[in-house]
A and B are shown apart, each in its own frame.
Chain A
Amino acid sequence: MNRETLEVDVLIVGGGPAGLSAALRLAQLQKGSEPLSIAVIEKAPQAGAHQLSGALLDPSTLKDLIPDFAAKGAPLSTPVDNDNIYFLTQDGKVRLPITPPPFRNHGNYIISLSTFTKWLAEQVEAEGVDLFWGFPGQHVLYDEAPREGVPYEHADDRRASRPGTPKIIGVRTGDRGLGKDGKPKAAFEPGADIHAKVTIFADGVRGHLTKQLYRDRQIGIAAEPPVYAIGIKELWDIPRDRLKPGTVIHTLGYPLREEEFGGSWLYAMGDGRISIGFVVGLEYRDPLFDPHAAFQHYKQHPFIRSILAGGQLVRFGAKAIPEGGWNTQPQLYLDGALIVGDAANFVNSERLKGIHLAMRSGMLAAETAFEAIRSGNTSSTALASYKARVDASAIKEELYPVRSVHQAFGGGLIAGSAYAGVAMLTHGKFLPELSGTPGHQRMRMIEDYYGLAKRDILVPSNAAPIDRKVTFDKVTGAHYSGTHHGEDQPVHLLVHTEVCHSICGSEYGHPCVKFCPANVYEMVDDGAGGRRLQINASNCVHCKTCDIMDPYGVITWVAPEGGEGPSYDGM
């Protein structure tokens, strides 16, 4: 096989805010000295296409990274004007008389993360950094000398994901032109090996390469288990005079029960465009709970409906959110590698913000990598200063005090709120370190949750009415995500198991069908009296929820062919 190899100084895997901030910082640092070769690879076909967030931007890191961001046209057109927080009951709402400090957004901006990322990519490109859109990383490459007598190709493949081997030397990108059966088609092009002195993993929440590091290099062994949530988002165009641009509304309560963590956001962006979304902790107990259905129930609430009525759905998307906080950060450095942004779980789940932390970690990783390359030592000893930089930075300052807030919500809304309150008042001193359980382990079996009598139920406990005006089914949502995958390629959701049609039905009632927001998973008649799993991979919006939430841990998300996936213009 003719596999191309590319040698660079720094390879950044992922073109989101963390990866692009790393690239830009490197470009800034090398100015006036011998230039570094920097490459950024990203699975999306163009900048911002796979970027989705609420989003509220705390501009603190941006001010440090690009001090003249306003002159450079940063798309921060909507400053937050007013904050509102409501507790919803089934038909009513109670406005919280004061907005708790973490929810106060004065000085922040309502942005489209996709648009912001596009702009950030322009700043990076202007510095002459090569951005490779449409190239997903598929395997972490380790430095293991090929063994005697083993043909190079085989040694190469083994090197591509081998546990316990010493140094990370880069990433292999995904193959193009494989057929559904996994065999090369006429236009087959093998992925390239990109070798780098330092590889910065910025592959986002539950990054599929960072996941390989969790497996191969046990980077999570000293950390709390990561905890995630799923965020489902829509853009709507509503009559312009309905909400003042800059209005921020957060809700708690309905349709979630006390046992489910989550809430909603609604941000008015100007010109009648609003961002509306719903977040649910991926640690719910009810195996038939359906986050997408919860979002539809939420949109049917009289208060929310009154905002959306007569409006038009413009875009749909979903993304997991790393909610676990400071204590869930993995080991951030390895021989030849650094981990940044969502991949390192740098999100403040109390303030509902992570973009500025992702950018900050990217900057710090760039400074570390720059120093290491200039000194000619990119071993883990040299790269360990990244951790020291993070510990001395605004990241720790912000995340440490609220380190167990999300875990506290595992004890329910009231306990969680009390914990959050104490954390806020004491800046995180005197608090017990709470340990989270991986979310998928909290899901209970049907029998356990619903009792023996209901073990065959298959209707979600929160099935949503679909009116195709305000509420839509998942397939329609997938359409509005603009997602596209060629049908004739290997399925990019690996489910190598028999559990789906053997025991999952009676144990959990096929929760994948429920938690996937894009109708990727379906149980269909197998024509022989049973049911089989059908994976509609072309609907996938790359949210990673299945990789996280499946109770047996048997679903593995890998990158589809480069350039495919959602199209999150404006999201």
Chain B
Amino acid sequence: MILVIAEQKDGKLNRASWEAIAAAQQLSAGAMPVKVAVAGHNVSGVAGELAQAAVAEVIAVDHAALAQYTPDAFVQALQQLITQAAPAMVFFPHSYQTRDFSATLATRLDRALVTDVIGVTQSGGAAAFSRPMFQGKLTADVVPQGPTPHLISIQIGAFRADAMQKGASAASVATAAVKIDESTLRQKPEAPFQEAKQAVDLSQAERIVSVGRGIKSQENIAVAEQLAKAFGAELAASRPICDNGWLPMERQIGSSGQTVAPKLYVALGISGAIQHLVGMKGSRTIVAINKDAEAPIFEVADYGIQGDLFELAPAIIAELQK
């Protein structure tokens, strides 16, 4: 059995959970049951939402101490859950939260952990997991060793949420009882805050219009803004734009910014330095607009338009508004 640990916050499901379920379904190919668990407090709504997936069972792990995330409480709860359910593998979305607790959890269980997985294959009875090395230059196939369950975290954007199979009818929802000794929790979360008031989570955006040096001046950012609006997209940028302060730093895509994989990524005047490409090459459809036909961005683009963005952007906006 593969157990997928979905992630939620305040009753809202993290989209990446669907991707982890899709990865589990792909690996099992019907030969192994897939179950989904979600931990938190008052998670019945999220559990119901997860029950749409074609899975054997949804397990709600409900405890007041899980209302707000702390690594200690989650490790305690998930350790008990995994021991009770005895799966062959445990899948997580490779979220910030997973990164925070998964190493501790694996150590407590004394089981192998493979992180940031981008592909799963079944060969000769052993499951192999592909993960990037050398910043994506090489891909290693990892076969975890030692007793099961093996813990696997799935890179965000590596599997498609819409490839997740839905069930003919809702899966049954069970509740798992866990004991959490609150006196042993070493962290005490305070009220969440955002350092920047208008922080955006671009990784959740479905469409992104991203602007690069080709925009030339701060005043011209408006052109990109209009294009983003016409697409119903979030506005993002390459490093020089944010470095100049033309857009806030949290909108930067690339190796020193955010990694995104939206359905549509429009690169406006971005040459495509490798540092930018690693942050967006997982996008489903990439549209590149650039003056320079030799620009590396065209190597990853599904649709490339060589031309002046100041002519092309208004034309596209006009077309979208028809």
- How far in angstroms is the closest Cβ of chain B from A481? 10
Beta-carbon contact of A314 and B137 below 8 Å: yes
B274 in contact with A488 (CB, 8 Å): no
Question: Shortest distance in angstroms between A535's beta carbon and chain B's nearest beta carbon?
Answer: 9
The answer on a CB contact under 8 Å between A186 and B195 is: yes
B198 interface hit (Cβ, 8 Å):
no
Report the stretch among A200-208, A223-231, A439-447, A472-480 that lies at the interface: A472-480
Interface residues of A in 437-487 (CB under 8 A from B): 468, 475-476, 478-480, 482, 484-487
User: Closest residue to A185 on the B side, CB-wise?
Assistant: B195
Bound CA span A404–B291, Å = 52
Closest chain B residue, CB of each to CB of A474: B273
Judge whether B216 is part of the interface by a CB distance below 8 angstroms. Answer: yes
CB within 8 Å of A: which B246-265 residues: 249, 252, 255-257
**B275 and A478 contacting across the interface, CB-CB below 8 Å:** yes
* Contact call B274/A534, Cβ cutoff below 8 A: no
Pair B134/A314 contact, Cβ less than 8 Å = yes
Contact mask for chain B residues 140-154; partner A; CB cutoff 8 A; 1 contact, 0 none? 000000000000000
Indicate if B123 sits at the interface (CB-CB under 8 A): no
Q: How far is the CB of B314 from chain A (nearest CB, A)?
A: 22
Bound-state CA distance A478–B273 (Å) is: 10
A484 in complex: contacting residue of B243, B244, B255, CB < 8 Å: B255
Task: Kindly state the separation between the CA atoms of A524 and B241 in the bound complex, as whole angstroms.
Answer: 12
The minimal Cβ–Cβ distance linking A183 to chain B, given in whole angstroms, is 12
Whether a CB of chain B sits under 8 angstroms from the CB of A64 is no
Q: Once the chains bind, are A487 and B256 in contact (CB under 8 Å)? A: yes
Q: Could you tell me if A538 and B239 are in contact, using CB atoms closer than 8 angstroms?
A: yes
Q: B255, A487: Cβ atoms under 8 Å?
A: no
- Please measure, in the bound complex, the distance between the C-alpha atom of A487 and the C-alpha atom of B258, giving whole angstroms: 12
Closest chain A residue to B277 by CB distance?
A479
Q: How far is the CB of A214 from chain B (nearest CB, A)?
A: 32
Total interface residues on B, CB under 8 Å, equals 23
Residue ID in chain A nearest B216 by CB atoms: A525
Measured between beta carbons, the chain A residues less than 8 angstroms from B275 are 475, 478-479
Task: Type the 1/0 row for B202-230, where 1 means its CB is closer than 8 Å to any CB of A.
Answer: 00000000000000111000000000000
Chain B residue numbers with a CB within 8 Å of A475 are 273-275
**Per-position contact with B for A16-44: 1 when CB-CB < 8 Å, else 0?**
00000000000000000000000000000
A534-B240 CB under 8 A given contacts A475-B275, A487-B256, A527-B217: yes
The prevalent SS among residues of A at the interface is mixed
Contact A487 to B249, CB < 8 A, known contacts A314-B137, A482-B135: yes
Whether A84 is near chain B, meaning CB under 8 Å from some CB there, is: no
Mark B21-59 against chain A: 1 for CB-CB distance below 8 A, else 0: 000000000000000000000000000000000000000
Q: What residues of A have a CB within 8 angstroms of the CB of B216 in the complex?
A: 525, 527
Chain B residue contacts of A478, Cβ below 8 A: 275
A487 near B217 (CB under 8 angstroms)? no
B269 nearest CB across to chain A (Å): 14
Interface centre among A185, A479, A525, A538 (most CB of B within 10 A): A479
Q: Is the CB of A487 within 8 A of B257?
A: yes
A484-B195 in contact given A536-B239, A536-B243 (Cβ < 8 Å): no
Complex partner residue of B274 from A476, A486, A536, CB under 8 angstroms: A476
Q: Mark A508-537, 1 if CB is under 8 A from B, else 0.
A: 000000000000000011010000001010
A485's closest neighbor in chain B, by CB?
Answer: B256
Nearest chain A CB to B188 CB, angstrom units: 17
Contact in complex: B255, A534 (CB < 8 Å): no
State whether A476 touches B273 (Cβ < 8 A): yes
Inter-chain CA distance A45–B249, complex, in Å, is 24
**A311-323 near B? 1/0 per residue, CB < 8 Å:** 0101100000000
**A-B contact sample (17 more), CB < 8 A, given A468-B296, A479-B135:** A186-B195, A314-B134, A314-B137, A475-B273, A476-B274, A479-B275, A480-B137, A482-B135, A484-B256, A485-B256, A487-B239, A487-B243, A487-B249, A487-B252, A525-B216, A534-B243, A536-B243
Closest 8 CB pairs of A and B: A479-B274, A475-B273, A538-B256, A527-B217, A487-B256, A476-B274, A479-B275, A487-B249
